[in-house]
Structure 1
Amino acid sequence: MSTLDKAASVYSEQGAKKLFKLASENLYRQGYTTVNSLLDYGTHPYDKEWDVLIIIDACRFDLFQEFAPQHEIYDKFESVEPIYSQASSSKEWLTKTFVEGSRSEIANTSLIAANGFTSEIGQVEFDELEEVWRYGIHPDYHIVPPEPVTDAAVKCYRNTDSDRYVVHYNQPHAPFLHCAGKYDSAKDELGATQNVWDGLEKGQYDHSEVWEDYGKNLLDVLDHVNILVEDFSGKVAVSADHGNCLGEYGIYGHPSHCPVPSVRRVPWAVTEGGGKEKYELDNLETEDLEQSDDEEIKEHLSHLGYF
């Protein structure tokens, strides 16, 4: 559908008010995208020191600062500080980190990823690439829960000899797995999209309640981060690809190329891995698991709010 046809459809179906709102949002989006391209700030992960980098998707620094101390892992961190991500969405972060990164460093890195946008950086040559989303999408939530990522990361770590490892979890990104269905969804009854941010913007949900569920989703994934910290050796860093806006400058969620600090300010927590290798790992043969087709992958990204 052409832009003109779309505008006419919006006008005829929902009136001039909706058309004006759509035009305003598009203009606003173009504005912050332009500002972002001019500012172009943030920390490239390979400029930091780490052997294992664990990415918890969509985690704001203030969320981490409030909830992470409730978890036993927090006492293991030698330092916790805020940094600014170079991106405001997963696709943007993956592109800037790996497509635009150092070929030699990435060639010695293993990436274990729950996020389906790795399908769009296929030209990158990793030491090992384990795309957990190809077989680990939960049929009810339409995203990858933490468990298969932890299994795949441990298996990769124990069976490869990469210089560096990046483990990318989906959580605390919405949906909040402990309360699936609590927040309405345009897709299905589970609330398995980023509709929570749209509903928050419209006043359908209570801000403090959403914040608590967002924090609970963080605590749940920290259970798995803790497993890796105990199991792996070397310097382990825990960070995020981006955060979420909760109304700052009128923005909700995490649109790409957004310069607003709330969506770019993320944690950088560092500890030394325990090297215990005690995690009991079943014989995970991923080639024997059912692989997701293109439609399922698109649905997975849709349920993360990207379509």
Structure 2
Amino acid sequence: MTDRAIRAGRETDAERMIVHYLPPHSPFRADALRENRPLERYEYRPFDYLRDGGDRELVWALYLDELRWVLDSVGVLLENVDAERAVITADHGELFGHLGLYSHPTGVPHPRLRRVPWLELSATDTGSYDPRYEEPDRKRAPKETAKQLEYLGYR
């Protein structure tokens, strides 16, 4: 995402650009990617793991690690695009068992889902990063896409 956004920022004269990162959405992959290993159940389906009585502190730590991981990428982006005004925010919060609810169920007006950060700053392209973006394979098989959506929690 970062590489594509930097490339788009440098190659277009867009008035606005919205860059939507998946993390810290589950699955929580940061540790597994760093360790080059398959996801554990508590990483792959963390909220199912919690519903089944799993360790809340473990999942919370994974969530925070996932957030730090994506914010590192956002930092690279902000150092490699020009923007008078850049906003860092989220599309929703997460529930970790509050009122017996987990993840971000649709239609639930819980404050922990609705209150999200809003940070305004500026960005300057220092040229410190050379993006390595490759166009995606547009002929991706529907089965692969369905599997990817399943991994993201869309059953």
Displacement of 1:182 after TM fit?
5.8
Which structure 1 residue ranges, 4+ long, deviate > 2 Å from structure 2? 178-183, 289-293
1:200 aligned residue (30, 35, 50):
50
Q: Does 1:230 align with 2:79?
A: yes
Q: Which has the higher strand share?
A: 1
Q: Does 1:244 align with 2:94?
A: yes
2:63 aligned residue (208, 214, 231):
214
TM, length-normalised to structure 1: 0.45
The structure-2 alpha-carbon separation of the partners of 1:275 and 1:165, relative to structure 1 and needing over 3 Å to count, comes to same
> 2: distance between equivalents of 1:296 and 1:278?
35
Q: Which has the higher helix share?
A: 1
Matched residue, 2:145 = 297
The structure-2 alpha-carbon separation of the partners of 1:183 and 1:243, relative to structure 1 and needing over 3 Å to count, comes to farther
> 1: distance between equivalents of 2:67 and 2:118?
15
Displacement of 1:179 after TM fit?
3.2
Query: Between Structure 1 and Structure 2, whose CA radius of gyration is higher?
Result: 1
TM, length-normalised to structure 2: 0.86
Q: Does 1:257 align with 2:107?
A: yes
Displacement of 1:229 after TM fit?
0.9
Two-structure CA RMSD over aligned residues (Å): 1.9
Aligned residues: 149
Q: Is the 8 A contact 1:238 1:267 kept in 2?
A: yes
Q: Does 1:184 align with 2:41?
A: yes
2:131 aligned residue (271, 278, 281):
281
| Identity within the alignment, % | 35
Displacement of 1:219 after TM fit?
0.6
Helix, strand or coil: the match of 2:19?
strand
CA offset digits 1:104-163 (Å, max 9, x no partner): xxxxxxxxxxxxxxxxxxxxxxxxxxxxxxxxxxxxxxxxxxxxx111111111111111
> 2: distance between equivalents of 1:231 and 1:182?
31
Which structure 1 residue ranges, 5 or more long, are not aligned?
1-148, 186-190
